[in-house]
Structure 1
Amino acid sequence: MKNITIRQLKTFESVARNLSFSRAAEDLHLTQPAVSMQIKQVEDLAGVALFSHAGKRIALTDAGKLMLRHSMTILADLKAAEQSFATLKKGTSPRLRVGLITSGSYMFPHLISAFMHQATGLDLDLNVRRRDQLITLLRSDEIDLAIMVHAPDDPAIVCEPFAPNPFVLVSSPSHPLASERDIPLSRIADECLIVRENGTDTRSAVNEAFRNPSSAPRFMEIGCAEAIKHSVMADIGISFLPAQTIQSEVRAGLLKVLDVQGFPVRRHWCLVHRADRHLPPGALDFREFLLAEGKDRLAHFTGIDNVHTGMTHQHEKYAAPETLTLPTPVATTASLEVALRTRSLLRKHGLPDERDVEGHDHGRGDSGDDDQFPARRKPAHH
């Protein structure tokens, strides 16, 4: 196939992707006969049929699938070369194009900043969007990498998990469920669950966790994580949120993690990119950074699995009143921002600042055993 042209490759790729001659003609601004003629030329060069026909419907043969894989790689390499030469001509720095789901905006900017400080001559393009919007940007080649929880079920997309991301149910401290232990999931069906909008990773996790209609609560949709937190604080309902996003509020006593059977729901942060194109050098370096250091750095910045839950189990029928323990903040920019936000929330709700709380163990930091999320068991009848 040494005589095949780039135009023929592009035509074949469009027909194979759309499984339609007419839609490929629209994409390429060609007539349908012109598309059909080029496909015949490609098949003549290959010496095998690339499409099977059943009435008006077409499908890729095994040879066609092989041809598509190689075509996408060739076209992706050509586009990468074009971008590299454009950068060289302009004298500009190479760019790292990353997409991030909104719930990741609490901690991932710190990881990205850590990487950028050790990378040289690299500019950053960061898009913070909903999951469905990031997938669109990835498929249209507007970003190189995306960080999310639920990757699409698509063989053209590569998904690499690199760090845990558990989800929990939270309420206000005054909610009736806040003081209960080992709560059956069926009890949540009586509650109003405040959730993110469709298209977000958090909503996908909610839908999966409550896919059984008998245990599904009534949903109230709010398209902002901060608004959801304040609605829960105001006792409008409970919510299902990533554990990494609620630490400051839990430590301040403004939110309570509920002790529900089957929770936390274990999920992972995933690095997502296209299988049909090579990652640019900057994106490749960032991928290796996250796979090698992402888990440990998230633990450092967010204290994963070390948020105080107040779920110390008692053998007595009635538990003794809880004492709020606030871990010593880590001296980082992230913890300073958390401390400032926490103090603001404390003052707003008329609660004492952490400096006024007695019995604070300043030696434990974020590593005390009492601060761990329990991995709740599922009841025997499940």
Structure 2
Amino acid sequence: MNYTLHQLKVFVEIVTKESITKAAGTLFLTQPAVSIQLKKFQDQFPLPLTEVIGRKLYVTDFGREIALTAQKILDEVATIDHKTKVYQGKLAGKLKISSVSTGKYVMPYYISNFVSQHPGVDFSIDVTNKQNVVRDLEQNKIDFALVSVLPKHLTLETIPLLKNSLCLVGGAEREANREGDIMTIFQEEPLLFREKGSATRNAMEAFIDGRNVAVTKKIELTSNEALKQAVIAGLGYSIMPMIGIKNAVDMNVIKVIDYPGLPIHTQWNIVWLKNKSLSPVAKAFAEYLTSEKEAITEKYFGWVNV
């Protein structure tokens, strides 16, 4: 056996994501690079680690066993590195955050300086939908979560960050050519939705259901960025968080529509389980956010409360 730590890391990510493409995105590698590392790793075993049926990758039982052991090895290597830095008087350890999809426009600004100040901290963030974020919280897989709607069934500690506003929007060109009263948009125009499990979709559906509107056409997209591009292209109308579309609004390619009952206001929050024992790194980050959040919000998101 002559596998490398890099190959172990790549294989664990492939097993976690059950996709070479998704693993490549998380690792900031190209898909061919990940495929090459998987092949080199596989060549050292007499049994298959993965198999492809149709166009989908499946991890074999043997592959999952190897992935578990590989993760233990990576954890031990990280422990060695962290202990070395601790003995040098540096803050060191892992910080795991799960964020709802639109949170990718928020979280980097609140984590950047902390990570820069503490190079011994290994930081990872999983950007996914609300359903998966809540599951990660429930299973205690993460230190913190970034959410705009608090899960009511969990007892949480909370650090409020900034306001989140969801507005009715359409492509500027489509909106300029639309005829009729704005009150007919939900009945007569195609509506663009996020996938099931998304907090944005839940808010949009709740708003429409509350008005007993019969939607004529739905189009579903699985990311906020795809939804934004679809709105710009004129495929239809949607209710979207302003945090993710401000640049497009400023460029006048997306039009915010003044509609009764909108925008919907929620709050971006960093949360963690109330009974969770925070690691030194996690505790330091919570203290950093508490002391620095107002300055960060004012610097990067002063427009939110305008």
The TM-score with structure 2 as length reference comes to 0.63
Q: Deviations over 1:292-331 (max 9, x none)?
A: 433542343245337xxxxxxxxxxxxxxxxxxxxxxxxx
1:294 aligns to 2:286 (yes or no): no
Aligned equivalents of 1:89, 1:232: Cα separation in 2 = 46
Unaligned residue ranges in structure 1 (runs of 5+): 1-82, 307-371, 373-382
Offset at 1:244? 0.9
Aligned residue for 1:256, secondary structure, equals strand
Identity %: 28
Instruction: Tell me the CA shift for residue 112 of structure 1.
Output: 0.9
Q: RMSD of aligned C-alpha atoms?
A: 3.0
Per-residue deviation at 1:229? 1.7
The 5 A counterparts of 1:1-382 are: 87=79, 91=83, 93-119=92-118, 121-176=120-175, 183-184=182-183, 187-212=185-210, 214-215=212-213, 217=215, 218-305=217-304
Paired residues of 1:181 and 1:260 also in contact (CA < 8 A): no
Write 1 or 2 for the structure with the bigger share of strand.
2
Instruction: Note the alpha carbon deviations across 1:221-262, whole angstroms, 9 max, x for none.
Output: 110222212221222101111101111111111111111122
Residue pair 1:162, 1:291 contacting (<8 A) in 2 also: no
Over 3 Å counting, the alpha-carbon distance change for 1:248 and 1:122 in structure 2 is: same
Cα pair distance change 1:245/1:87, threshold 3 Å: same
Matched residue count: 222
SS at match of 1:171: strand
The amino acid across from 1:167 in the alignment is: L
| Cα distance in 1, alignment partners of residues 177 and 164 from structure 2 | 22
Q: Give the residue type in structure 1 aligned to 2:83.
A: G
Q: Partners in 2 of 1:265 and 1:230 — Cα distance?
A: 21
Give the match's secondary structure for 1:215: coil
SS in 1 for 2:303: coil
Distance between the aligned counterparts of 2:82 and 2:237, measured in 1?
53
Higher helix share: 2
Q: 1:211 to 1:291 in 2, by over 3 A?
A: farther
Instruction: Could you tell me which runs of 5 or more consecutive residues in structure 2 were left unpaired when the two chains were aligned.
Output: 1-74, 85-91
* Aligned amino acid, residue 243 of structure 2: Q
Q: Give distance in 1, aligned partners of 2:145 and 2:231.
A: 30
Relative to structure 1, the CA distance from residue 233 to residue 146 in structure 2 (aligned partners, 3 Å threshold; closer, same or farther) is: same
Q: What TM-score comes out, normalization by structure 1 length?
A: 0.52
